[in-house]
Structure 1
Amino acid sequence: MEEKEFELTVDELKKDKKILKQFEKNKSKAEDLLKDKDKMDKFLERLERKLSSVPKIGEYLSDIPIFISLVRSYISGEYRVVPMGSLIAVVSALIYFLSPVDVIPDIIPGMGLVDDAAVISLAYFLVHDDIEEYKLWRDKNKNQDRESN
Structure 2
Amino acid sequence: MAESTWRRARQRAGRVLKSPLASQRLAAASAAKAWANRDRLGEAWERLQLAGGMLRDWSLRRYPEAPWATLITVAAVLIYFLMPLDAVPDMILGVGLLDDLVVLNRAWRWIGSDLEKYRLWRDGQDPEGRSANRSS
TM-score range relative to shorter protein: 0.7 to 0.9
What code does the residue aligned with 1:41 have? Q
Structure label with greater radius of gyration:
1
Q: Between the two proteins, what is the percent identity of the paired residues?
A: 28
Match in the other structure for 1:38: 21
Task: Within 5 Å, give how 1:52-131 maps onto structure 2.
Answer: 52-56=35-39, 57-131=41-115
Partner Cα separation in structure 2 for residue 112 and residue 55 of structure 1: 14
Cα distance change, pair 61–122 in 1 and its aligned pair in 2 (3 A): farther
Per-residue deviation, 1:115:
0.4
In terms of mean alpha carbon deviation, does 94-103 or 36-45 score higher? 36-45
Structure with higher RCO (Cα < 8 A, 6+ apart): 1
Compute the TM-score of the two structures, normalised by the length of structure 1: 0.78
Deviation for aligned residue 1:95: 0.2
Structure 1 regions of 5+ residues with no counterpart? 1-15
Contact kept, 8 Å, 2:21 with 2:59, in 1: the verdict is no
The structure carrying a bigger helix percent of its residues is 1
Q: Aligned equivalents of 1:54 and 1:97: distance in 2?
A: 11
Q: Distance in 1 between matches of 2:65 and 2:97?
A: 31
Note if contact 1:61-1:117 (Cα within 8 Å) is conserved in structure 2: no
Q: In the alignment, what sits opposite 1:23? A: 6
- Contact 2:77–2:103, Cα closer than 8 Å, also in 1: yes
Q: 1:81 to 1:101 in 2, by over 3 A?
A: same
Q: How far did 1:62 drift?
A: 2.7
Kindly indicate whether the alpha-carbon contact (under 8 Å) linking 2:26 and 2:78 is maintained by their aligned counterparts in 1. Answer: no
Relative to the length of structure 2, the TM-score reads 0.85
Mapped to 2, the partners of 1:43 and 1:60 lie a distance apart of: 17
Q: CA deviation at 1:60?
A: 3.0
Count of matched residue pairs = 131
**Could you tell me which residue of structure 2 aligns to residue 8 of structure 1?**
none
- Read off the aligned partner of 2:116 and give its amino acid letter: E
- Matching of residue 140 in structure 1 with residue 127 in structure 2: no
